[in-house]
Amino acid sequence: MSIAAEKYIQVFLISLLLSSVLTPAVILVARKFKLVAMPREDRWHKEPTALYGGIAIFLAFSIPFSFLIQASPGLMLLLAGGTAFFFIGLLDDIMRFTPQGKFVAQLIAVVLVVGLGLKIHLPGYPIISIGLTVFWLIAMANALNILDNMDGLSSGITLVAALSLATYGYLFNLYEIIGPSLLLAGSCLGFWIYNFKPAKIFMGDCGSLFLGFVLGGLVVVSSSSITNAGTDVYATFSNMILMLAVPVAVLIIPIFDTALVSFTRLQSGRSIAQGGRDHTSHRLVLLGLSEERAVLTLMLVAAVVSAVVLYMAKHSLDAFLSIVSIAAVVSIFFGVFLSYLNSDIYGEDRGKGSRIAHAMKIMLNKRQILQVCIDILLLTVSYFSAYLLKFDGVISPYNKGLIEQTLPLVLAVKITCLWFFGLYRGQWRFASLDDIFKIIKSTILSSAIIVGALVFLYRFEGFSRVVFFMDAILTLIFISGIRFMLRMFNEYFIRQSEKNNSIPILIFGAGDGGDLFLRELRKRKGHDFLPVGFIDDDPAKKGQEIHGVKVLGNRYDLEHLIKRFGIQKVFLAVLSKAPSLHEKVAECCKGLDVDIVQIRPLIQFAQTGDTTPKHAATQHLKVIHSGTRKGIKQ
């Protein structure tokens, strides 16, 4: 092991040890002087919890920083700015500043450190450099402050981000930021142990503002390190994007959460500075995840995104830009999916009386514009990625010239074909198999037109047939995938939320009726049914699955399954007329504490002559047999 590696490990372990010792000490002091946060309606903790944990984080970082880090002027300004933000947060924890007052204090601190030289270096653009740095530092400080809304979340995300920034520094020879990043990671890990659910201590604004500023400041220092090293790696525009995009991708979770909260609060007519249970973590819990799993999921996502982005950035800039574009689209759609929970979070009065909310509603109603913009981005990535796949991740200047020359034609033809086949007339959240066929036809037609046009215009000289074949495949995957993404998110979280339901049920009939009932049940909110399995008398269906629910056996297995799984209800979802079936199932369940519920067909007038269609599944139920349990009435 090299001396440098030993030093970095030492730095990490010292900050970890300090944080692990200082955090319980702060807990004892806070409890002794009753400096605790009491449970509140807009917060998730249910027990009095110690405050001012940010003191332990700050000391665990700043003390070893003073002795172990050979600080450049940029790092000294980083520590000075972090200290200023720590005290701004501490005073806010004690005195409760107004949002405007806290912002002014932050702005003064940032302007001072930027004026002294801590700024993103964009050669030739000094004004943009200063403005971008001020915005970035304030935005990151408040992003971590906003993210501090669930036990272990802010400290956990900072831990992942700090380790990722240390890796970023190692991969790109930015050694100046490795030590401070590891100090920050160690101080966060020692605190996270006590902050994860059930939290024994909260960091407060003194901790979250400090963490956010230091994370943002490390990104700024990294840009300075590149410039001061005299390298020309980032001389081109695309490489300048890489310099900024890698840290942004590493910090994806706080950036995403801030954007989501800001957008949904403006959309609902609420102040961005207003607290509440509308963050990404809260929405994940509302979708069925436990608090612990929501926090760990966000940490895992941050780690995976960081690992992929760092790997691609190191090995292929062109591939990196494609990955970042796809990640941006996925993030947008996940945000759209989470925004569907606004009615559950904000209630029926959301957006009333707000001009901004009204303007955003008008803008969002023009969804075709957003759909076209997203498709343009994905089609560009598809065409670009086809060249990457063909030429092993490296695009020569000649091929880049071909891409620039033909991309307008490719986009115009593909968007026109998608419009021609009606792909912009539907809602993506209701995408179906019919849309897949339309996309296939659109892809085939557009590819044929593009190749024909290139043959006519350029005799296809210099172009690769394999590129256009790969482009067609990628177009089909990207355009189909994005239209089914909302459905995939919905299906996944429905299954997660089912695990929390407490009324185990069996569905009799693994055919069309059972499929219809299960899909309708999963669309409905407010019930507590947990589908354990299907029952069907067809032996060929045993062991098969319908929407992830297994066929467990036939009617003669009912008694065993009811006792084994504690089944409380059996839903008969057989659409065919079989009057004797009801009695046979009731006989199999005789003496058991279980309800047997008959599901009526979705549309009944075709069979009965009644011209009034009956609604589906769970709204019209009829008990044909009950054990000792009280039955459900229609």
Q: Is 404 exposed, middle or buried (0-12, 13-18, 19+ CB in 10 A)?
A: exposed
C-alpha dist (Å) from residue 457 to 2, 453, 463: 59, 6, 12
Strand partners, 258: none
* pLDDT-derived band at 423, boundaries 50, 70, 90: confident
Look at the alpha carbons of 274, 279, 283, 286 in this order and tell me if their dihedral is positive or negative: negative
Q: Which residue has the tokens 């780690």?
A: 303
Mean of pLDDT over the chain: 84
Is residue 605 pLDDT above 50, yes or no? no
Range from 218-227, 394-403, 404-413 that averages highest in pLDDT: 404-413
Selection from 519, 520, 527, 521 nearest residue 500 by Cα = 527
How high is the pLDDT of residue 231? 44
CA distance 478 to 472: 10
Q: Per the structure block, which two tokens stand in for 209?
A: 């503002």
Selection from 134, 136, 155 nearest residue 144 by Cα = 155
pLDDT (tens digit per residue) in 153-181: 999 999 999 999 999 999 888 889 999 99
Collect all residues with Cβ–Cβ distance below 8 Å to 501 and sequence separation of at least 6. 527, 528, 529, 530
The amino acid at 221: V
pLDDT (tens digit per residue) in 188-246: 999 999 999 889 999 999 999 999 999 999 999 988 765 554 444 444 455 566 667 77
Q: What is the DSSP letter of 569?
A: E
Q: Per the structure block, which two tokens stand in for 359?
A: 């303007």
Collect all residues with Cβ–Cβ distance below 8 Å to 602 and sequence separation of at least 6. 516, 614, 615, 616, 617
Range from 192-206, 489-503, 557-571 that averages highest in pLDDT: 192-206
Domains belonging to the chain, first-starting first, are 3-365 (no CATH), 370-495 (no CATH), 501-626 (3.40.50.720)
* pLDDT-derived band at 364, boundaries 50, 70, 90: low
Strand partners, 546: 549
pLDDT: which is higher, 232 or 565? 565
The amino acid at 199: A
pTM, two decimal places: 0.83
Q: How many C-beta atoms surround the C-beta of residue 382 within 10 A?
A: 25
- State what percent of residues in the chain have pLDDT above 70: 85
Q: Per the structure block, which two tokens stand in for 70?
A: 């050979």
Coil, strand or helix at 538:
coil
How high is the pLDDT of residue 88? 97
* pLDDT-derived band at 603, boundaries 50, 70, 90: low
Segment 377-405 mean pLDDT = 90
Least confident among 241-245, 334-338, 481-485? 241-245
The amino acid at 18: L
* pLDDT-derived band at 352, boundaries 50, 70, 90: low
